[in-house]
Amino acid sequence: MRISFAATSIPKSGYVALFVAEGGKLGPAAAALDKAAGGAVSHAMKSADFTGKAGALLTVPGPKGLSVTEVAIIGLGKPKDMTALTVRDAGGKALARARGKQGAPLSFIVDPVKSTKLSEADLAANLAAGASLSAYRHTPYKTEKLESVAAPKRLSVQSGAAAAARKAHANLGAMVEGVCLARDLVNEPPNKLFPKSFAAKAKQLQKLGVKVEVLGEAQMAKLGMGALLGVGQGSPQESQLVVMQWNGAAKSKDPIAFVGKGICFDTGGISLKPSAGMGEMKMDMGGAAAVTGLMHTLATRKAKVNAIGVLALAENMPDGNAQRPSDVVTAMSGKTIEVNNTDAEGRLVLCDALWYTQDRFKPALMIDLATLTGAIIIALAHEYAGVFTNQDKIADQLHKAGQASGDRTWQLPIGPEFTKMLKSQTADLSNISGGRGAGSITAACFLQEFVNDVPWAHIDIAGTAWRNDSRATCPPGGTGFGVQLLDRFVSDNYEG
């Protein structure tokens, strides 16, 4: 969908959306359109007792005096409660109303709103971003025509602050691109997206100025990455380690690093998962997808930061060469790990990726993202990602970034009493604890054994990387969770 910003005028065709704050008063541009329509808009609002409550929708089909097909009126809610997120939801709702209209153009009429922290430019930019996120669909394998659900091909955002809105939307547009890239990766079927094809997609970021390296199994074996390689040995698809570098700050500035779990399909290995719902395990590379989307966003908006993105890519399959429960592998750090459950594989690929990242790049901070444990869904459902860290300040920063971006997080504890649960009689560590309790916490404690003293946070996105329901700015499927969160985290704390 092509987005443009322009001064306000009366649209000549297609669909129009007006946005009204609670109180039900039309702004100047909306009032001008209403006048051209002979008062049809204000009459409809009065008849329906439309007051502009958040999420409210009222439509006026083909009002006389206008050549447009429909005018939709979207409620923005109370001005004091309006945020970038609520405005994006309104933009998404307006886009959804125009979906399936044979590609007819869509126009947003944006007026300033009094008593809100958002400027008119902010309103226009966030409405456009919400519409873009809502327009997303992953349809490359559909062969039938999709006019009935297609998004408009063009969106004109009309505002008295068009130039400022265009500028404000530049960074938001980069974020939207990153989220949609991450969604695409998660939504790809596993016979199309496997470690080498994922690495090839990551290489496309080179066009944006990102340096990309790909390590194959022979290179990882030389580095001693026995934990990562053990996970992938049951698959004919070669495991990969992708290293992406964006250098947007001075060379003297230490980088911040993001590490993503990239299990392109997870059967559980020999510890085979139940068949019900296994198809969703194509999303087990959601952490790697988010890191890729983040690096795309940072490079597109020319972020003033040095950032490293590392993807640990493998398939967890159960063939005759697959690792077995009770196998012992040696991680890059030199620690030995007893693999007591082959379905606890994410921590195995991450431990080598984390060690490699901190050892090679000496980052100021490391954050890993992983669809790591079903236990986090029991704790936080599909609403929050779990955060575990060796510095509470990082959790606070992530929480604030999550509240602002909509990718919400919640901190859970880690500590030596949980690490003790990973004791093995055979090796230095077991990859699971001996009991059912604190599964997400013990997984995080396992990872902590491989970060040394580097400031670090682990984000468990098992409940948030995929949704089966629809939201205003996100259809069912891959959510792209983590891109907005970490882009905001970087801009708030590591640029400037």
Same domain, 237 and 366: yes
CA angle at 171 for the pair 170 and 173, rounded to the nearest 5°: 65
Token digits for 53?
Answer: 């409550």
Q: Which pLDDT belongs to residue 104?
A: 87
**Taking the chain, what is the end-to-end CA distance rounded to the nearest angstrom?**
32
What pTM did the predictor assign?
0.97
Same domain, 119 and 152: yes
β-pair type (154-159, 2-6): parallel
Same domain, 115 and 196: no
* Residue 172, in any domain of the structure: no
Could you report the per-residue pLDDT of 291-312, keeping only the tens digit for each?
999 999 999 999 999 999 999 9
Query: What's the CA dihedral at 194, 199, 201, 206 to 10 degrees?
Result: 180
* Residue 170, in any domain of the structure: no
Same domain, 293 and 413: yes
Same domain, 47 and 145: yes
Same domain, 139 and 189: no
**Stretch (H or E) spanning 60:** strand 57-61
Low-confidence ranges of the chain (pLDDT < 70): 102, 147-148
- Which residue out of 53, 203, 253, 273 is catalytically annotated? 273
* Residue 169, in any domain of the structure: no
What is the extent of the structural domain holding 17? Answer: 2-160
Same domain, 350 and 485: yes
Which amino acid is residue 345, in one-letter code? E
Look at the chain and report how many structural domains it folds into: 2
* Residue 194, in any domain of the structure: yes
Token digits for 98?
Answer: 């125009």
Q: What CATH number is given to the structural domain containing 478?
A: 3.40.630.10
Q: Which of 93, 127, 160 is the last residue of a domain?
A: 160
360 a catalytic residue: no
CB contact at 8 A, 449 and 347: no
- Which residue out of 261, 347, 408, 488 is catalytically annotated? 347
Distances 255 to 168, 169, 250, 271, 496 between C-alpha atoms, Å: 26, 27, 10, 38, 14
Give me the helices (H) in 362-482, please.
Answer: 375-380, 392-405, 416-419, 439-448
* Residue 353, in any domain of the structure: yes
* Residue 364, in any domain of the structure: yes
* DSSP string for 38-53: TTHHHHHHHHTT----
Same domain, 198 and 99: no
Residue-wise burial string across 319-350, b where 16 or more C-beta atoms lie within 10 A, e elsewhere: eeebbeeebebbbbbebbbbbbebbbbbbbbb
CB contact at 8 A, 241 and 221: no
347 a catalytic residue: yes
Same domain, 24 and 116: yes
Q: Which pLDDT belongs to residue 148?
A: 67
Residue whose structure tokens are 């005096």: 65
Q: Which of 160, 190, 221 is the last residue of a domain?
A: 160
Q: What CATH number is given to the structural domain containing 135?
A: 3.40.220.10
Same domain, 56 and 193: no
Q: Which pLDDT belongs to residue 265?
A: 98
Residue whose structure tokens are 């008063």: 25
Same domain, 339 and 446: yes
CA angle at 381 for the pair 379 and 382, rounded to the nearest 5°: 140
Same domain, 145 and 203: no
Which three-class secondary structure state does DSSP give residue 207? helix
CA 482 – CA 293 distance, rounded (Å) = 9
Q: Which of 130, 160, 190 is the last residue of a domain?
A: 160
Which amino acid is residue 49, in one-letter code? D
* Residue 26, in any domain of the structure: yes
β-pair type (240-247, 211-215): antiparallel
User: At how many degrees (to 10) do helices 286-300 and 195-203 cross?
Assistant: 10
Residue whose structure tokens are 């997984």: 443
* Residue 17, in any domain of the structure: yes
